[in-house]
Each structure stands twice: as C-alpha cells, then as structure tokens.
Amino acid sequence: MAIEIEQQPSAVGLSKVAASETHGEDSPYFAGWKAYDEDPYDEHSNPSGVVQMGLAENQVSFDLLEDYLEKNSEASSWGSKEEVSSFRENALFQDYHGLQSFRKAMASFMEKIRGGRAKFDPERVVLTAGATAANELLTFILADPGDALLVPTPYYPGFDRDLRWRTGVKIVPIHCDSSNDFQITPKALEAAYNAAEAKNIKVRGVLITNPSNPLGATIQRAVLEEILDFVTRKNIHLVSDEIYSGSVFSSSEFISIAEVLAAQNYKKAERVHIVYSLSKDLGLPGFRVGTIYSYNDKVVTTARRMSSFTLISSQTQHLLAAMLSDKKFTENYIKTNRERLRKRYEMIIEGLRSAGIECLKGNAGLFCWMNLSPLLEKATREGELALWNSILHEVKLNISPGSSCHCSEPGWFRVCFANMSEQTLEVALKRIHNFMEQQRELKEMMIT
Amino acid sequence: MQKRLHYLQDKLVMAIEIEQPSAHVGLSKVAVSDTHGEDSPYFAGWKAYDENPYDELSNPSGVIQMGLAENQVSFDLLEEYLEKHAEASSWGKGVSGFRENALFQDYHGLQSFRKAMASFMEQIRGGRAKFDSERVVLTAGATAANELLTFILADPGDALLVPTPYYPGFDRDLRWRTGVKIVPIHCHSSNNFQITPQALEAAYNDAEAMNIKVRGVLITNPSNPLGATIQRSTLEEILDFVTRKNIHLVSDEIYSGSVFSSSEFISVAEVLEARQYKDSERVHIVYSLSKDLGLPGFRVGTIYSYNDKVVTTARRMSSFTLISSQTQHLLASMLSDKKFTENYIKTNRERLRKRYEMIIEGLRSSGIECLKGNAGLFCWMNLSPLLQNQTREGELALWNPMLHEVKLNISPGSSCHCSEPGWFRVCFANMSEQTLQVALKRIQNFMEQIRERDGNLVISSQ
C-alpha cells in the first residue's frame, strides 16, 4: 500500500465470516492462476508461456456484439443534448424492480434460448449483479445457517464460496460417477439426503447446474423429472442454474426445468427457481448481469428486496435492454454462437482423441471434461494433483483438476476452449500431443 | 417518467399465475422476517406520492416528493461532460476496448477507476487527506458497502452503535441478512443532536446490559437526516472511545461532496492523518457517487479501509456486488478529468447552498425553524411546537395531514429513530426551484391556517 498503516498484533477483531477460509482462495488450485499470471502465453511475445485453459469465458462471438454496438450507438449513450431527460432518468433509476424494458428483454431472450418451448414472465424476473450474487441471494432466502443444499458432484468450485461463505449454509454432495456418465440418479439423491440427516443437518433444497459445469453436458429430461419428484417428495426447493443454456451446441438438446414444469402444468412449480446470467452466453462477465426467475411469489418479492444489495447498473440495463430487444440480433447471435462453440468443441475433442485422450460426451458449455485417469500413477487425489502439477509446470497448460470440483473419481480435468483464439487452441493441443507421446515413450521404456 | 414503485406490498399480478399451495415449501428465517422494513407505516408516504405525484403542468395539486434524498441540481454538468466525451460512454473504434472491458470482472476493479475515486475523494476534502487507491474496494452502492462491512466486522447477535436520528435504511442494511443488531446512541436537540461521550458510554452499557457484544460504531458524516457535519472534537472523542473499547469505527461519508462550504467538513481521514494513522486499523470509510454526483442508478460505492485484512476480505466479498465494468469505464474517464471534477465540486456545493438558503428562508418566514445545517440534500425541520402530544403518535398525527392535506411527503423523525418527537427531514435537491417554491407556499398556507385555528399559539424562534 502507498499509505502503510501499522497493523497492530492485538488487532481489533473481525467476524468469524471474515476470519474463515470459506472464500476458498487459499486452496492449492490457485497455484494454477499464479503460474499463468507469472508467465502468460502470448502468441508473439511469450509463445512458451502458460496457456490459460481454466477460465470459462466465451470469447468466440464478440464480433457480433461489437457489430451491434457500432450500428446502434444510442444503446451506449443517452442521445443528444436535446434528449436531456434520458440520461437524468437513467442515472436516477435505482428501483429494485429493474428497468421494465430490460426485464422484458431478458424474459424474451430466455424464451428464445429455449426455442420458445418455455414462457417467461418479466414480472418474475429479479435482477442481480451476476449469477454469483443470484446463487448466494437464493441461498439466503431458501435456507437457514447450518442447513444444507444438495449439489451433484463434480460442481463449479465457486459454489463453495457462493452458497456457504456468508450464509452459513452447508453443501452436501450428491455423488455422481463415470459409470453412467456422471448423471444424477434417484439413488444418489436419496443417499445425499440421508447423509445429511445422519449428521442432523436439515436439507432445504437441491441445486443443479444445467448444462453442467464442469461436465459440459445437458441433463436429460427423465433425470429432471426424477429430481423434481424427489424435491416434491421431500418438500424442498430446486434451484436450476441455467447459466450455460445459450451455449448448447445443438438447439434441440437442452431441456430446461421450465419446460418440465410447463408440461406438468406448473403443478410443483412454487419450489423451483432458475438462475441465469449473460456472463457466459454473451461473454459479458464484467457487466454483472444475473437473474433469478422464481415460480414462488414470496421468493420473487423477497429476492427483489434483497437485490438492493446487488443491483445492476442502470447504464448497463439500458444498453442491454436495447440489444436484447433486437430480435434480429438475438436470433442471429444465439444461432451463430452455438455454431461456433460446437466447432471449437469438435476441434478440441478431435485434437485430444488423436493424442489418445478421451473426454465425456459433451454437448454444451465452454469446456470439455477430459479423462486422464489412465495416466495416474495412483488413482487418488494426490495422484491427480501430481499429474496436474506436471501439466501446469512442464506442459504449461492451466487446466482444472477434478478434485477442485469435488469429483469423487480422480483423473478427470476440465479444459476450457472458448477463451482463446483458434491458433492458441492449436498450440495447446500440440503441447498435449507431445506430452502424451512422451508419456507413451516413458511407459515403453519402463516396460522394456 | 417511470413511476417508482417502492411502496408496493407487491400484490403481484403475474402473467404466469402459479398456484401457491398453503402447505408451502418453507423459506428461511431471514426471508420471512420483516427486517426489510417495507411494512413500516412510513411507506404510506411513498404510496401517497406514487398514487398522486405532483407535476407542474399536468398535476399541480399532487403530492410533492420531499422524502427522497436525491441530488438533481447538477445534472447539466454531467450531461455537458458526456456530450464532449463520447468515448467515455462507448469504447471507441478498435476491437480491444469493448472486449477487454466486457471481460473485466476482477474484484480489484479497474485500476484507472480506483485511482480516479481516490483522487476525487481527496479533492472533496480539499486535499486535506490522502487516499491510497490500493485501499479502495468497490461495491454496487453504499447500501452494499455498509452491509458488507457489517458482515466483516460483526458476528450475528453482535451490535453496532449508531447515533440517532439515523437513515432508516440502516435497519435493513446493517441487520437483515447479517443478524447484527443496532443499539442507538441517543442524541438530543439540547446540543444540536451532537454525539457526546456520555451518550456513547450509555449506548455501550445498554448493549452490555443486554449481553450484546458491541463490535463498532457507525457514524454518518455529514449526517443524514440532520444535514450537518460532525465537529472535529467530536470525531476525536469518538475515535478515543472506539480505541478504548477496542472496537471499529465506520464513517459513512456519502454526503461529503455536498457540504455547502468547503472548509466545514472534517473527514475522519484528516483526524487519522493528524495522528499519523495511529490506531487507524479500526477505521473504515464508506463513500458513493449516488448523492454527490446524483448517480444512484449506476451503483457506485466504495469501502476505504485502513485495515489490510479488511481490505482483502472486503475485496473478496465484493464478488457478490461488483460494479459494472461499463460503468467503471465511464466514471474512470469522468473522475480523472481534474478540470471537470474541480468545477463540479465547486458548482454543486454552491447550488446546494443556494437551495438550502431558499428553503430555510421560506420555512423561517412561515415561522418554522430548522437545525442549523451545512451539508446534504435536506434540512431537519422542527415542528414540535405544533404537536398536540409530544409523542410518536403526536408526530404521526401531524405527519398525516402534511401528507394528505398539504400534500408533501416529508420524513417523520420517528422513522429515523429520533428520540424527540416533532422533527422532520425535508429534501430540497430532488426537484426544480419552481416546485420548491410551490412546496414552501403550501407550508406557508398550512402554518397560517394553524395560527388562525389556534389563535394564541406562539411559534417561538429558537
């Protein structure tokens, strides 16, 4: 700090929340970020640096957004001086209901993504500064400190912080494994519920991510129906984080929980809440645009009030209301983005396959779920971390080890493919190719 | 003009009607509590305004909103800036500008913006305090900043001491999700509602008597709703008090740029600097652009802490409430423009002072006195001589006709937990001068009616 302040050892105390480690940043996985930050790959200036494959960002469709902005400058401004009231009105607007035009545009965009197979009511759209805020906010509303949410493994590492840190709520895992492609089963749901009960922990809900992070795959309709039956039987909530819904490679393959509910005439709906965001599908994580869509009136009202702590900038709502109301733009964007992600996915799967690596069959998202278990010296978390270390420091790729996602089977890794250029992806695939050749040679040497 | 529906009890008419069975799936205790504050009787004020809002041309007999602390006097300066600097609200030609900004979600915040905020805070204080941009943590508004600090400084069940009268929003911001309590530091008109060492000790002892652990003191300087700055000697006493008790001090300085005279505001930052920052690791400042710059919709708040661990933790926690990178980009540009900021601060100050003088004069000529104020977007009006009963009920009985007959939505002191009934907060910066004149005329008529009705009622000048 430029202003050095002496920090007394008998310091004035902070809260338990402040002192806890639930923020998750002391985890060993941060070594990956560190290695990248200290030696970042650059095509020209640092071609031997670390390639970042641990960041689920969507950079494949920016040109479409830039094109829109170029043609529609009024979205990023407030018009000429004659239109004085527009800036003033926007700058003053802090109503937690959010700009109506923006809520309508979001509801409409969510419908488009689902091919019109589900309807969304703008009055049920609650806005938050990102899905990170949405998931935490819902947890505050659905569970008390000490209660639990059941979350299928492997899951997004950020949930450990988002669902637990300030809320005091616990996560009890629903164990999934490769024997059935990591699908959630009724058995696993019951087992998780019982595991919580055995520890005297009250379960308040199930939180799924569909399409899944890190699996990169959508959840099947039959599974969604089973989960819905389960939460209804137990009289608990269901949160469906559909943040990757616009990143499904084929438009017909994503079934949203909204569709399942509609098919059942919304009979069980008041326990269901959907989280969405523009951070992945539109590649706008900096703009902090998240939403909670709830079928429960009381949750909508309460979430709206609570969103006061995490409102979206009215300037950004104004920009995105314009953009997402443009049906021509959104239709083209969704279609093109989907197509480009599919191509990237095929490129990385092919590249890995020719290196002798198999991945889980995926159909969505910005990453693939890679199986390196054959390479493990020991089929343990330590074995996985040892392999991860080599990949990070020798192959110079920052990929995410499955243990950081609480995967019960060691050897799986999440590899992002949409946050870089095609050339960079080729470089990464080449490095993996070479690494696998070396591994084969080493094995042969050891056998002979 | 879009109606602001703050008051609604949310009897939602959903386009997709979902049956909500009576054997509900349960919600959390936080969700069912009413600490959100919206069931309070004061929402009747918002309701009356929303149902019948004043408009100079289309509804000249409507309710005038004097309960909203917004700053609308200096928008032209912002609009002028935006007109001359289109690049601030766009990303210019060239690919990397937009892409980089749209991807930027680092909770450290845009460095250029943090620097601009630190510099702006220095300018507001006339250069009498320095701010290190590395200690600036960004949040989506001061609402988020105050809650976030409470999560960091106190455990559920603990308390923060807050001087009365205070901003009603604190009841929600400091308590709702955190489970932390507010114990009031009672202040009185006998010494212009200043915070005294006795009052501090009394509040601390009140908490102790209830077995509640006090973790800090939270002051607002300049004060809302008093519209007055805290004196240096009082700040020193508060600092000594929190040091003796080994607790924290949060200074919400959200109105620091709205002080009418540049020399009258002493920030706790200046007091700390004068002490070479001894014992400063217990002090945290909250700021925002919602009041000084009139940009509440943009959600720009900041925590400035002298405690390294608080800075680190607050920064991590700000993930739940980041400022849009688009907005950071716009404001980094605007607040880095020294010519703009110097002119803005000076002009805004001047215009607020003029408004304040206008309302004080108008009220005085109606026979109403206010607390001597020197900052903020409101004045603290004393109507206690008019009360039939010197009680909260008496105050509400006066508030009702003000709202429904005089048609002015002003904020009763009881909504701010004021221990003396009869005081009201009256906002003056969220309307045009003409509208303010209309409001003052209505007050004048109201007071005349009361004098005629009560004949021998003497409104004493204090």
Examine the pLDDT at B58 and tell me if it is beyond 80. Answer: yes
A140 close contact with B: CB closer than 8 A: yes
Q: What is the pLDDT of residues A278-300, one digit of tens each?
A: 999 999 999 999 999 999 999 99
Q: What is the pLDDT of residue B43?
A: 79
**A76, A266, A316 member nearest B90 (Cβ):** A76
Structure tokens at B66: 């004097």
Q: Is the pLDDT of residue B325 over 70?
A: yes
| Min Cα separation A291/chain B (Å) | 13
What are A358's strand-pairing partners?
A: A371
Which residues from chain B sit within 8 angstroms of residue A52, using beta carbons? none
Of the pLDDT bands very low, low, confident and very high (cuts 50, 70, 90), residue B8 is very low
Kindly tell me if the per-residue pLDDT of B395 is higher than 50. yes
Mean residue pLDDT of chain A comes to 94
Task: Please say if the pLDDT value at position A11 is more than 60.
Answer: yes
Give pLDDT tens digits for A85-135. 589 999 999 999 999 999 999 999 999 999 999 999 999 999 999 999 999
Q: pLDDT, tens digit, for every residue of B349-389?
A: 999 999 999 999 999 999 999 999 999 999 999 999 999 99
User: Percentage of chain B with pLDDT > 90?
Assistant: 85
- Output the pLDDT for position A128: 98
- Burial tier of B51 (Cβ tally within 10 Å: 0-12, 13-18, 19+): exposed
CA atoms of B414 and B166, how far apart (whole Å): 10
For residue A418, give the 3-state DSSP assignment.
coil
The model's pLDDT over A330-383, given as tens digits with 9 standing for 90+, comes to: 999 999 999 999 999 999 999 999 999 999 999 999 999 999 999 999 999 999
| DSSP string of B234-270, one letter each residue | HHHHHHHHHHHTT-EEEEE-TTGGGBSSTTS---HHH
Per CB-CB distance under 8 Å, the chain B contacts of A416 are none
Predicted confidence (pLDDT) at residue B94 exceeds the cutoff of 60: no
Hey, CA dihedral for B334, B337, B341, B343, is it positive or negative?
negative
CA dihedral B429, B430, B435, B436 (to 10 degrees): -30
pTM more than 0.90 = yes
Which pair of structure tokens corresponds to residue B117?
A: 């905020």
Those residues whose C-beta lies under 8 Å from the C-beta of residue B233, and which sit 6 or more positions away, are: none
Q: What is the per-residue pLDDT across B414-461, written as a single tens digit (0 to 9) for each?
A: 999 999 999 999 999 999 999 999 999 999 999 999 888 876 555 443
Q: Which of A404-413, A426-435, B89-98 has the lowest mean pLDDT?
A: B89-98
The strand order across the sheet containing B181-185 reads B136-139, B301-305, B283-288, B248-252, B214-220, B159-163, B181-185
Q: How many CB atoms lie within 10 A of CB B210?
A: 10
Is residue A241 annotated as part of the catalytic site, yes or no?
A: yes
A243 catalytic per annotation: yes
CB-based contact (8 Å) between A33 and chain B? no
CA dist B378 and B66 (Å) reads 9
Prediction ipTM score: 0.95
Q: Is the model's pLDDT at B9 over the cut of 50? A: no
Indicate the pLDDT class of residue B41, thresholds 50, 70 and 90.
confident
pLDDT at A25: 85
What's the pLDDT score for residue B371?
97
Instruction: Write down the pLDDT at residue A374.
Output: 95
Side-chain-facing half-sphere of B447: CA atoms under 13 Å: 19
Q: Per-residue pLDDT averaged across A142-149, rounded?
A: 98
pLDDT the model gives residue A5: 80
Contact A353, A133 (CB under 8 A): no
Q: How long a stretch of residues is chain B?
A: 462
A309 touches chain B (CB under 8 A): yes
Cβ–Cβ under 8 Å, residues A96 and A304: yes
**Catalytic one of A141, A243, A334, A349:** A243
**B137 in Cβ contact with B323 (< 8 Å):** no
Catalytic site residue from A29, A68, A156, A244:
A156
Q: What is the mean pLDDT of chain B?
A: 92
The pLDDT value recorded for residue A312 is: 98
Tokens encoding B311 = 């800075």
Locate all alpha helices (DSSP H) within A172-296, ordered by sequence. 186-198, 221-233, 257-263
How many Å apart are CA A401 and CA A54, to the nearest integer? Answer: 9
Q: Does B387 touch chain A (CB under 8 A)?
A: no
As beta bridge partners, residue B219 has B251
Whole-number pLDDT of residue B12 = 46
Residue A120 buriedness (CB in 10 A; 0-12 / 13-18 / 19+): buried
